[in-house]
């Protein structure tokens, strides 16, 4: 990678922070080559600790960076892109992190030769255990994807896919994080019901989820296989699992991913039509 590559973040929220941390962790990009812009100083503190440059000017940022993450809330994307559009050249790589904002929309707001990618991270990027899926726009070449992938490798798991998968990724892994939190809370509630103090129950529930997740990721085994391995004949686990099956947990979980995905698609459609309207 070009050690002179300059990375910018428009927006200083959680996603920008998580990604910036991961980018810096790779060691390929020194903090002095990273710049963050935001309208107020409010979120700058933790970025300051990373040693990156800070500014309030988006146009200054785009002029002084090569690869720029657009990490503002979805409803602000249009404003930001219109603001920087005149400064975007074919040498820039623009990566949008905004949910529901399609590549078509992004490319529509930028000059015709712009290189655009769309990235969907998730919350655990904050602890470098994210699941990130990106999709290349019309002018983004495989090398641009490879560059992005190598920048993000320390944020977690990075995969490329067609844009159609991004909504699914949102449902599965973006919202999926919340589903896991719900499950962890319910585990703890069950323990509290059975007599364990709440704080301890929550701590153990969190560790259980973490440990199981790590085993699942590292073992390479199918989750059904791992589940079977925990189930001693006539033991506690199989009894508990039966209760879960009777509760229809599987179907509920499939429904959750499906519903979240459908909603992501709907939001994307709505945003597209609003943008089209606004441009008329």
CA 266 to chain centre: 19
Residue with smaller CB distance to another protein, 197 or 223: 223
- At 50, which helix (H) or strand (E)? helix 44-50
Cα dihedral sign, 196-202-203-205: positive
Q: Measured between alpha carbons, how far is 21 from 151 in angstroms, rounded to an integer? A: 11
Q: Which of 51, 211, 213, 223 binds another protein (CB under 8 A)?
A: 223
Does residue 236 interact with another protein by CB under 8 A? no
Does residue 217 interact with another protein by CB under 8 A? no
Does residue 240 interact with another protein by CB under 8 A? no
Candidate ranges 23-31, 99-107, 129-137, 251-259; the one touching another protein (CB under 8 A): 251-259
Q: Measured between alpha carbons, how far is 134 from 163 in angstroms, rounded to an integer? A: 8
Q: Could you tell me how many residues of this chain bind another protein (CB under 8 A)?
A: 15
Q: Is 194 annotated as a binding residue?
A: no
- At 201, which helix (H) or strand (E)? helix 198-219
Q: Measured between alpha carbons, how far is 81 from 74 in angstroms, rounded to an integer? A: 11
Rounded least distance, CB 124 to another protein, Å = 24
Q: What are phi and psi of 160, to 5 degrees?
A: -105, 150
Q: Which of 1, 200, 230, 251 binds another protein (CB under 8 A)?
A: 251
3-state secondary structure of 83: helix
Does residue 269 interact with another protein by CB under 8 A? no
Q: Is residue 271 a contact partner of residue 102, using CB atoms and an 8 Å limit?
A: yes
Residue with smaller CB distance to another protein, 67 or 172: 172
Q: Is 73 annotated as a binding residue?
A: yes
Q: Measured between alpha carbons, how far is 143 from 140 in angstroms, rounded to an integer? A: 8
Does residue 228 interact with another protein by CB under 8 A? yes
Q: Which of 225, 259, 273, 276 binds another protein (CB under 8 A)?
A: 225
Q: Is 11 annotated as a binding residue?
A: yes
Binding region for another protein (CB under 8 A): 222-225, 227-228, 242, 245-246, 248, 250-251, 254-255, 258
Q: Which residues are annotated as a binding site?
A: 10-15, 58, 71-74
């Amino acid at each position: 990678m070009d050690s002179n590559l300059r990375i910018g973040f428009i927006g200083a929220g959680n996603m920008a922070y998580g990604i910036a941390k991961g980018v810096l962790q790779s060691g390929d990009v020194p903090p002095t080559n990273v710049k963050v812009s935001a309208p107020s100083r409010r979120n700058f503190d933790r970025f300051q600790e990373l040693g990156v440059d800070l500014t309030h000017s988006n146009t200054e940022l785009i002029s002084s960076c090569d690869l720029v993450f657009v990490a503002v809330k979805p409803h602000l994307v249009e404003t930001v892109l219109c603001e920087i559009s005149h400064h975007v050249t074919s040498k820039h790589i623009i990566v949008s992190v905004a949910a529901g904002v399609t590549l078509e929309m992004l490319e529509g707001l930028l000059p015709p030769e712009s290189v655009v990618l769309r990235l969907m991270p998730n919350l655990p990027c904050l602890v470098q255990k994210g699941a990130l899926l990106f999709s290349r726009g019309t002018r983004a070449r495989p090398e641009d994807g490879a560059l992005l992938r190598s920048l993000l490798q320390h944020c977690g798991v990075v995969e490329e896919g067609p844009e159609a998968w991004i909504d699914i990724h949102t449902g599965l892994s973006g919202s999926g994080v919340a589903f896991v939190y719900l499950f962890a809370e319910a585990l703890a509630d069950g323990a509290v019901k059975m007599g364990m103090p709440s704080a301890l129950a929550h701590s153990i529930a969190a560790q259980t989820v973490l440990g199981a997740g790590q085993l699942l990721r590292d073992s390479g085994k199918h989750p059904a296989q791992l589940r079977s391995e925990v189930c001693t004949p006539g033991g506690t686990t199989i009894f508990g699992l039966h209760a879960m099956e009777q509760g229809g947990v599987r179907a509920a979980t499939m429904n959750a991913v499906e519903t979240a995905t459908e909603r992501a698609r709907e939001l994307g459609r709505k945003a597209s039509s609003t943008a089209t309207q606004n441009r008329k």
